[in-house]
Structure 1
C-alpha cells in the first residue's frame, strides 16, 4: 500500500476507482468479501497529502463511489431495453448519471473526513461515521435510494448479518466500514503500540460480530405444522412480452394454471407485483370473462394476494393509477376484497417522473405502462385480511428501506406476523439486480425478526425465515417457472432494531463525532 500512496496523482485517482470497484464486488452475487479491504485503500488515499487536500479528497472519494456504484447499479440499463426502440437511447445516460450522481455522496463523505483532519486510531471512527452518515442521507434525500448499503455486503442470513437485528443496516454499515478500513492504520504514521492496539481491536470486533451471529442463529425455531400454507407463483413472464395486448389471455392462464397445480391446498396464494398486464378494475368488472375464471381458480376460503395495477378517479375527476397489493378471498361463488395496499414509496423515473413537465419536453417519461405515472399511496401500514395473520406489504422498491415495516407497525399499532415482498424483478433481466434485491430484502427480515414471503415473475422468489435465510428448497431462480409451497415460518420476538430503530446507529455517529472532537481538543491544546 505504501507504494500506491507514493504514486502520481493520476495513478492515485485510478487506485481510488479500483478501490470502489473492489468494495462493490464484495456484495452478492459476486460475494468477493476481501473486496471490503477497498475501504482501507480509500481511507489511505484520502489521507494522502496533496497541494489541494480538500479538493483532492473529494475527487478520490467521488471516484471510489463511481467504481462502487458502477458495480452495484449496472443493471439500470436493462429496464430501458424492454422498449429499446423508444427508450434504449436513455440506457447509457442512466448508468452514467446514476453512478456519478450517487458517487457525490461518497465525495462529500471524503471531503468532510479530510476537513476534520483526524489522526491516529480516530481516523477509522471518523471515516466510518462520515461514510455511513452519507449512506443514511442517500437512503433519505428526496425519495431515497439505499441500494447495496456497505453493511449489506454480508450475505443475508450469515453470522455477520445478524447484527442488523440490533443496529439495522445503517449501523451495520458503520461497523463494516470501520472494520474494513482499520488496516489502513497499520500503514499510517502511528506508533508500533498503536498498530498493535488497532490490530487487537479489529480482531476482537470481528470475533464479536461473528460470535453474536452464531449464537443468534443457534436459537432458530421450527415452523409449526399449523402455520398457514403459502403458495408462491412464479410464471416466468419476460417483461418484453408482458405488455403485448395479445398475450394477456396466455399470461392469465399461466398464473391460473400454476395456482391450481396439483398438490397440497394452500391457504394463501401469492402472485407478484403487477402480475397481469392490465388494470385490475377492468379484469374484475362485471361482464369481464376474467373474474369468473379467477373465482374458479381458487378454493372456498383461499386468499389470493395479488400484485396489481389499479385505478380510481381523483378529486379532479381524472383517473389515478396505483401500484397495489389486493387481498381477494374466495367466498362461495365470488371474490371478496379483504384488503388493499397502495405502494407508498415509488421509484423515481420508473414509476413517476420528477419534474414531469420539464422531463416530458426533453423526451423523458417514466417506464410504467400506464397512461400516466403512478400515484403514491398513504404511509406504510400492515394489512389484516380476513383469516390471515397480519402482514406488512413491501412492494418491490420498498424492500430497500430499513425501518419501513417498523414505521408501518407504529402507524397501525399492530406488529405484523410476516412481511410480503411482491416485486417485478423482470425489469432487471438476467443481471445481478434480482440477486442483489433478494439479499437486500432479506435484511428486512433480520432487522424486524419477521419471515418474508417474496414473489417475483421471473425470479428470485423465495421463502425467507426471520434470520434472513432462504429456507432449503424454497427458492425459484432466474428464468424458472413453477410454485413454492411452504408453511409460513414463525416470527421472532421484537428485535432491538424493531423497538428502537436507528438509535444504535445514532450512538455510533456520536462516537465518530466525539473522536473527531477529541482530536481537535488535543490539537488546540498543543498550540
Structure 2
C-alpha cells in the first residue's frame, strides 16, 4: 500500500520537474517548449507552503537543482580521466555544482515571493527576479554563466538575434517572461486573454524580427583569409602521458600539412593541443621547433592554444594558459602575438585558497601541480598578417560582453573572435554541444564571426549571426581539418556599444511593477 503524497511533497517534486523541463529546452535536447516550466516555477513560488517565504526559496532551489543537473552533468567527466584516483569525486562534484548554483534560483523565488506582485504583469516581476539572480550567477566570485535562460534558443535562429540588441541577459528576461506567461493561461477571464495575446505577439516578434535580420546577411568574400581549423581527436587519457608527446605532435603536424586547393593563411590548433609547455618546444635546439617550422609555409600563421611560463614577480615562474601566434618566416618561426587567459576556471585551473589546500593535502582537486596565473585584462591582439582578433580561451566564451569590454579598454575592435577550448574534458556528453551554442551567442552579441577549435569536437566556423557555416563542422570523436574563409564582421551591434543597458531597463521595469501595484492599492 502506498501513502498519498502530501501537498508539500507534490510541490517539491513539481519544482524539480520544472527545473528539468527548463534545462531540456537547451541544446542538444532542444525541447524549447520546456521554457513553459518557468510558468510552473512562478506558480510554485507564489503558492503558499508551510512557511511561505522559506517554501518559495526551497522550491526555487529544488528547481535549480533539476535545471543545473541537466545542464552541468558533464562535470563528472574530468574526474573520470584519472578514475582510479579521482573517480570517487564525480558524484560529489555534480551535487556541489548543481546544489550551489541552485542557490541563485532559490534567491530568485524568494525575491519574487517578497515582491508580492499580482495580476498578469507579475510575469515581468518573476522574469526580473530570476534574470537578476542569473546575472549574479555570472558575476559572483568568478562567475559561471553556463546555459543562461536566453541561450535555450538555438544560436543562429531568429529569436537568438535579439541578443545583438539586448544581450543574452536581456534575451533571458524575455524568455523567462514568455515561459512564465503560460501559467496565466489557467486563470480565468481577461488574464487568460491577455496572456494568450502576449505569448502570440512575443513569439511573432521574436521570429519576425530575427528572420528580417537574417535576411540581410552579408556573403563571405572570396578574398577573405582562409582559416584551417585542426582537430586531432586524441583521447584525453592518452594525451597527457609523457611518452605520447611525439604521437600527439605528429598528429597535429600531419593535419596541418594536409594538401588543399588553396593555402590556408591561418592555422588554428585548440586549447591544450600539446601536453607540453610551449617554451620547451620552441627552445633552441628542440627538434619540435624544427618540425613545426617545416609544417608551416612562408607567411602562414599558426595560432595555437598552449601552456607557457613567465617569470613570477616573487621569483620562480608563473604558468599561463595562452594563445600563441607563430609566423613562418625565412629563418624560422617568430612569435607575433600572445594572449594569456584572464578568466580562469576555479577548481580546474586554480584552487581557491590554494595555499591552504596544499597544507591540507587536497591539491589533487586541480589537475596541474601548480595554479595557472590569470593574464591581464583582455584586449584584442594584432598578429602580423592576421586581422585583429579577440581570443576567448574555453571558459571565457561563457561571458556576455567579454569582447566588447576588452575593446573599450583599448586596442580597438577585433575583426573576429577565436575560441580555443579543451572540450575533451566534457567527454561524449551534452557539454560540447552546449558550449558550442553558448560561444555562438558571443558572435551574435558582438556582430563578429568566431572560429572554434577543440581537440575532440565540436570545431567549426560561426558567422556574425551565430550560425555555424553549413558543412563546416568537425563533430565529437572526429579527426580532421576545416578549411574555410573567415566570414565578414558586421557593424558594431547595439549590445557591443551599450552593453547591458537594455537589460538594466528591463530590470527597472520589473522592480517598478510591484511598487506601482502597492501604491494603487494604498490609494
Query: Could you say which TM-score interval applies, normalised by the shorter chain?
Result: over 0.9
Query: Among 252, 263, 281, which residue is 1:255 paired with?
Result: 252
> TM-score, length-normalised on structure 2?
0.97
Kept after mapping to 2: 8 A contact 1:458/1:479: yes
Match of 1:138 in 2: 137
Give the total of aligned pairs: 518
Match of 1:313 in 2: 311
Confirm or deny that 1:445 pairs with 2:464: no
Shift of 1:411: 1.2
Match of 1:509 in 2: 507
Confirm or deny that 1:398 pairs with 2:401: no
Post-superposition CA distance 1:161-201 (Å, at most 9, x none): 0000001010000000000100112224xx51232122212
Q: How does 1:472-487 map to 2 (within 5 A)?
A: 472-487=470-485
Kept after mapping to 2: 8 A contact 1:352/1:366: no
Post-superposition CA distance 1:421-458 (Å, at most 9, x none): 00000000101100000000000000001000000000
Q: How does 1:119-158 map to 2 (within 5 A)?
A: 119-158=118-157
Post-superposition CA distance 1:360-406 (Å, at most 9, x none): 34543366654311000001110110111100000000000000000
Kept after mapping to 2: 8 A contact 1:418/1:452: yes
Query: CA separation in 2, counterparts of 1:205 and 1:517?
Result: 25
Query: Among 322, 325, 341, which residue is 1:324 paired with?
Result: 322
Query: CA separation in 1, counterparts of 2:359 and 2:101?
Result: 25
Query: CA separation in 2, counterparts of 1:453 and 1:12?
Result: 45
Query: CA separation in 1, counterparts of 2:128 and 2:90?
Result: 34
Kept after mapping to 1: 8 A contact 2:138/2:145: yes
Task: Please give the root-mean-square deviation of Cα atoms over the aligned residues, in Å.
Answer: 1.2
Match of 2:376 in 1: 378
Match of 2:47 in 1: 48
Query: Among 206, 209, 225, which residue is 1:212 paired with?
Result: 209
Report the 3-state secondary structure (helix = DSSP H, G, I; strand = E; otherwise coil) of the residue aligned with 2:435.
Answer: helix
Match of 2:431 in 1: 433
Match of 1:246 in 2: 243
Kept after mapping to 2: 8 A contact 1:349/1:365: no
Report the 3-state secondary structure (helix = DSSP H, G, I; strand = E; otherwise coil) of the residue aligned with 1:304.
Answer: strand
Confirm or deny that 1:235 pairs with 2:254: no
Query: CA separation in 1, counterparts of 2:473 and 2:291?
Result: 28
Return closer, same or farther for 1:63/1:464 CA change in 2, 3 Å cut-off.
Answer: same
Kept after mapping to 2: 8 A contact 1:420/1:452: yes
Query: CA separation in 2, counterparts of 1:288 and 1:384?
Result: 27
Shift of 1:46: 1.1
Query: CA separation in 1, counterparts of 2:508 and 2:167?
Result: 16
Give the gaps of 5 or more residues in structure 2: none
Match of 2:279 in 1: 281
Match of 1:3 in 2: none
Shift of 1:521: 1.1
Report the 3-state secondary structure (helix = DSSP H, G, I; strand = E; otherwise coil) of the residue aligned with 1:412.
Answer: coil
Match of 1:357 in 2: 355
Kept after mapping to 2: 8 A contact 1:381/1:409: yes
Query: CA separation in 2, counterparts of 1:366 and 1:330?
Result: 39
Query: CA separation in 2, counterparts of 1:524 and 1:358?
Result: 55
Query: CA separation in 2, counterparts of 1:105 and 1:283?
Result: 44
Match of 1:11 in 2: 10
Kept after mapping to 1: 8 A contact 2:272/2:455: no
Query: CA separation in 2, counterparts of 1:366 and 1:210?
Result: 48
> TM-score, length-normalised on structure 1?
0.97
Kept after mapping to 2: 8 A contact 1:366/1:373: no
